[in-house]
């Protein structure tokens, strides 16, 4: 995988807020991949999500995005694993939403539209509310996390048939590891069933 491939944004996780989590790859490894390393990259990602704010993101917005992303990640994993969420993550999310109200203002010309967010914080508030709606409603049951220990990416899987997240790398690593485990188990079984060596 090339460096460009590693830094490519993912938009296949099932929701904008889940795609935000995917802007940090291999999160639980010794060398995570940061796909939102600069305000310019954040601006590009927001544009591709059709959430470009009237005022371009700055460095403070970047740090705010990172903090919200990791709070949402902690809450998402707790939701998938059906365990109590981190009090700090809940408090961070509640405080963020309380400080960045983003009223809905609609317009209709060729289609129904919502006014663009005024700031990056307002764009993030829209994403955070999407996350809250999914994690607190019945749609939470469709959430799943990748079993790869360095990834644990959260994604939507309504049929419940997917094992890995949409990243091909995770599925590839998982299948290779499973194949090695089966081979080792087979070799171990052959060794256990081998006849004793003849005595001289």
Q: Quote the number of domains for the chain.
A: 1
pLDDT tens for each residue of 124-166: 999 999 999 999 999 999 999 999 999 999 999 998 888 889 8
For residue 30, being part of any structural domain is answered with yes
Which range of residues forms the domain containing residue 51? 3-192
Between helix 87-99 and helix 120-136 the angle, nearest 10°, is 130
Tokens of 26: 């291999």
For residue 197, being part of any structural domain is answered with no
Q: How far is CA 40 from the centre of its chain?
A: 20
167 φψ region: left (φ > 0), alpha (ψ -120 to 50), beta (else): beta
For residue 199, being part of any structural domain is answered with no
CATH number at residue 95: 1.10.3300.10
* Global pTM value: 0.85
Residue 189 has pLDDT above 80, yes or no: no
pLDDT tens for each residue of 13-68: 999 999 999 999 999 999 999 999 999 999 999 999 999 999 999 999 999 999 99
For residue 198, being part of any structural domain is answered with no
**154 phi, psi to nearest 5 deg:** -100, 135
Residue 200 has pLDDT above 50, yes or no: no
């Amino acid at each position: 995988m090339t460096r460009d491939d590693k830094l490519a944004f993912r938009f296949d996780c099932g929701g904008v807020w889940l795609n935000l989590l995917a802007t940090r790859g291999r999160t639980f490894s010794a060398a995570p991949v940061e796909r939102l390393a600069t305000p310019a990259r954040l601006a590009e990602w927001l544009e591709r999500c059709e959430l470009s704010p009237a005022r371009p993101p700055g460095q403070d917005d970047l740090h705010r995005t990172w903090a919200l992303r990791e709070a949402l990640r902690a809450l998402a994993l707790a939701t998938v694993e059906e365990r109590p969420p981190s009090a700090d993550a809940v408090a961070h999310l509640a405080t963020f939403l309380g400080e960045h109200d983003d009223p809905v203002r609609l317009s209709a010309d060729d289609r129904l539209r919502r006014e663009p967010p005024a700031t990056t914080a307002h764009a993030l508030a829209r994403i955070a509310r999407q996350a809250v709606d999914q994690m607190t409603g019945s749609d939470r049951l469709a959430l799943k996390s990748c079993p790869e220990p360095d990834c644990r990416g959260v994604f939507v899987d309504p049929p419940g048939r997917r094992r890995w997240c949409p990243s091909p790398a995770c599925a590839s690593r998982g299948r290779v590891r499973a194949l090695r485990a089966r081979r080792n188990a087979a070799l171990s079984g052959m060794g256990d069933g081998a006849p004793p060596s003849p005595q001289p």
